[in-house]
Structure formats: structure tokens, C-alpha cells
Structure 1
Amino acid sequence: MVWFKVHVQQALYHSTLIIPPALTINASPPNATWKYGHYDAAIFTVDDTRCEEWPTSGLKGHAVVEVHLIMQPLPLQGKTSSASWAARFLTYVQWLDVMPQQHGNLLEHTMQMHVLKCAM
């Protein structure tokens, strides 16, 4: 099963009791409207065994990605599966590397933001 967008909702970082409106992550292939597709960037947890919590941990245990495909594998027709993968979404992404700056800093000096580059 393939989705072209998914709605994501989470609590605010500074006030976990406040739940803001859901955000949409788009992953649309090229079409008549979007010549190059419509792909949103997101921060994904890539190591759920570590106790890193974004944003206080920075990007440790996380990755900045551009989402190109959102999918969910389905069990064989007529079979019900309790496999752990049956309740998970899989994504195909373009990974973005954080580029180190002068003197080994991770943040760009003027804007104090990460500089990203498509990984190869």
C-alpha cells in the first residue's frame, strides 16, 4: 500500500500537554502539477535503541531526510498477520548529510543552522 502524504501529530516540545494541529508530509512523484515531484523534509529517528530525544540531543540518533515514498507492506490476501512489520510504515528517502563547518562546528556561523547536502 502506497501513500502520497501522511498526517503527523505530536506534542509541543516545551509544553507536552499541548497538541498542535497535524502536519502533512508529502511524497508525491512527478506529475503534471509537480514536474519534479513534491517531497517534504523531515527528521526521523534512526536508532530507537538509544535514549536520544530530539531536539535536546541535536541530531544524534536522528537523520534529516527528504521523503520520496511512504508505504506499508500488506500480508498475503486472506492471511492475517501479527508480524511486527504489518503495523509499520516504511519510507524511501533521500538522506541529507550535515556538513561540518570551520573549526569542526556543526552549525553555520552566521545563521547558527545546520548546512545540509544530499548524501551519495
Structure 2
Amino acid sequence: MHEYSFEKLDVWKESIKLASNIYNYTKAFPDDEKFGLTSQMRRCSVSISSNIAEGTSRLTNKDKSHFMTIAYSSALELLNQAIISKELNFISEENYKSIRLEVESITNKINALRKHFINS
């Protein structure tokens, strides 16, 4: 089976793990948040890995860099939603800290990848 270039990236692998964690954490959210924070956090978490994957398929480094910027933005949006979820006691302090650490690792790697594309 062919492996695509994005599947080899640690940042993509980490973002897939983050999305899986977000799906698990949001299972415990109140039912009335199904179309609110639950949906938003899930979409954001999926967007990170999706934009990394899509960006690697682009032909120009400018386009690749652009998709890394979108992935980075989705990660920060997710962090913001995690902060709100913690404030509303939808997630524990421990889960919030886990999300934050994952987002920090992912955004650092996205920045490095974006700089690589810009400087190539």
C-alpha cells in the first residue's frame, strides 16, 4: 500500500492523535452542546490534520505554506475552545492541560514546516 508524504510527518500523526482525543473528551459534553462546542471542537481538530495533508499536495511552496497557516489557525481555535470548555467545566483540568500540550507541540512543528516551505 502506497504511503503519501503527509503520512510520514510527525506533526500529522500528532494531529490525528489530538483529533481522536478531542472526540473522546467531547463525548462527555452536555447533550445541548452537540451542535455547539462539541461540533466546533471536533471540526477544528479534524481541520488541523486535513490542512496538513492537503497542503503537502500543493505544487508551490507558497500554497504549501498557506495550508500550514490554516492548520496553525485551527489549532489555536481549538485551544480557545478548550479554554472555554474548561471554564464551563465540560473538561477536566487534566484534559485541558493535555490538549494544551498537544497543541503547543503541533503548532511548533507546523511553524517549522511553514518556515521550511517559505525558505525553500
Question: Which structure shows the bigger proportion of residues in strand conformation?
Answer: 1
Q: Which has the higher contact order (CA 8 A, sep 6+)?
A: 2
For the pair shown, the structure with the greater C-alpha radius of gyration is: 1
Q: Is the TM value for this pair above 0.5?
A: no
Which band: TM-score by shorter chain?
Answer: under 0.3
Question: Which structure shows the bigger proportion of residues in helix conformation?
Answer: 2
- How does the TM-score come out when normalised to structure 1? 0.28
- How does the TM-score come out when normalised to structure 2? 0.28
